[in-house]
Structure 1
């Protein structure tokens, strides 16, 4: 987990991990951390992405898309109907079906 925290800090993303969070971390065949995402369930129907980051060596390789697809599948399988994220990198998240929702001060995707 320390490696993932360091990755987030390398992008100036401050993160506080808690027991309410779930994590998905990707590693290469030689055990190099490639990227990750962490999220929490807001309630039974809403999962919220806290942060997602890909190591700079692995940018533009489709890993972000893989992480987004996997987290969507996991939270949907767990019963979530919606996935939310703050307004960070709106254009990026809109590629995956997220839409702006002022009522949550962020973006939302129906699963």
Structure 2
């Protein structure tokens, strides 16, 4: 049986047709791809730490909805700054990037 490659081919077709020839669209696509990569990394780190969104929100000093929005790449604020703040919380650092006295989560 032939393996179905429709999805990757369809994605490539759409990229080539609607994005590839427009530098602004390419830049927007790349920005959104970076956001998606960061979102996945935040989720993966939280999952590896074995903590809930609520617990991470408490550690980062933000609302749980912010964690959800970051993990879904839907955060409307300064995405990278907030992701960095969340990463610091996951690593056991304070907002200035200095190690807290408590032990790191992992």
Structure 1 length normalisation: TM-score?
Answer: 0.27
More helix by share: 2
- Greater Rg over alpha carbons, structure: 2
More strand by share: 1
Structure 2 length normalisation: TM-score?
Answer: 0.28
